[in-house]
Amino acid sequence: MTIPGKPSRTDWERVKREYESDAPIPYDPEDGPYDPNDDAAVEAYFKEATVWAGWPNPVMIQKDGVPVKQDKNATPEAAPPRAKAS
């Protein structure tokens, strides 16, 4: 993330080179739930995932693979907020 008024600390030339090289993303099964180089694995994972979009106020657009209608509360089972202990 770039901070306004500060120079970017990202080496964008390296990022562009790596993107254009089309080299596989290094992956070890301990790294995560799916291999990012396997299109079928990526598709299967995100088909069942809970997906949030937007910043700084994220909105749930999919929960456990089911699209969420934005006019409804994404988590109706959520408990009401409790008073803060002092």
pLDDT, tens digit, 9 for 90 and up, residues 44-78: 998 888 888 888 888 888 888 888 887 655 455 55
Q: How far is CA 78 from CA 41, 59, 73, 75, 85, in A?
A: 31, 15, 9, 6, 20
Tell me if 57 is assigned to some domain. Answer: yes
- Residue 17's pLDDT band (cuts 50, 70, 90): very high
The pair of three-digit structure tokens given for residue 3, joined into one six-digit string:
């901070």
Tell me if 85 is assigned to some domain. Answer: no
Tell me if 46 is assigned to some domain. Answer: yes
For the chain, what is the domain count?
1
Flag whether the pTM goes above 0.75: no
Tell me if 77 is assigned to some domain. Answer: no
Q: Please provide the average confidence, as pLDDT, over all residues in the chain.
A: 82
Tell me if 16 is assigned to some domain. Answer: yes
Confidence at residue 4, expressed as pLDDT on a 0 to 100 scale:
85
For 66-82, b where at least 16 C-beta lie within 10 A, e where not — what string?
A: eebeeeeeeeeeeeeee
Tell me if 2 is assigned to some domain. Answer: no
Q: For residue 38, give its domain range.
A: 12-25+34-67
Confidence at residue 74, expressed as pLDDT on a 0 to 100 scale:
47
